[in-house]
Amino acid sequence: RDLNAVIVLKGHGTVITDGNASYRNPTGNPGMAVGGSGDVLAGILVSLLGQKIPPLKAAACAAWLHGAAGDRCAEKMGQYGMLPTDMLQELPHLLK
């Protein structure tokens, strides 16, 4: 709150907060713990910020979209072996 920043603590039950309000994201799975996955999250977040969505809401939405894309991948191919590019391919289905 003192820094006027939004924090996203990724992990099981990701927490997003600005020090005043907070969200807990239930989506995502251990198969997402692979290099490049955070880059996908960052790209989603920057895209939402570029659409003028307020930072806290953008971070919460980005975390949900990222986790939901990972969950769709896990359903289709299992948690092991999925790549960040697989998660990217699921985003259009979530944004309909």
Local confidence band at 50 (pLDDT 50, 70, 90 cut-offs): very high
Percent of the chain whose predicted confidence (pLDDT) is above 70:
100
Taking the model in full, what pTM does it have?
0.93
Longest dimension (CA), the chain: 43
Q: List pLDDT tens digits, range 51-66.
A: 999 999 999 999 999 9
Tell me the chain's radius of gyration from C-alpha atoms: 13
**Those residues with Cβ within 8 angstroms of residue 43's Cβ, 6 or more apart along the chain or in another chain:** none
CA atoms of 96 and 12, how far apart (whole Å): 26
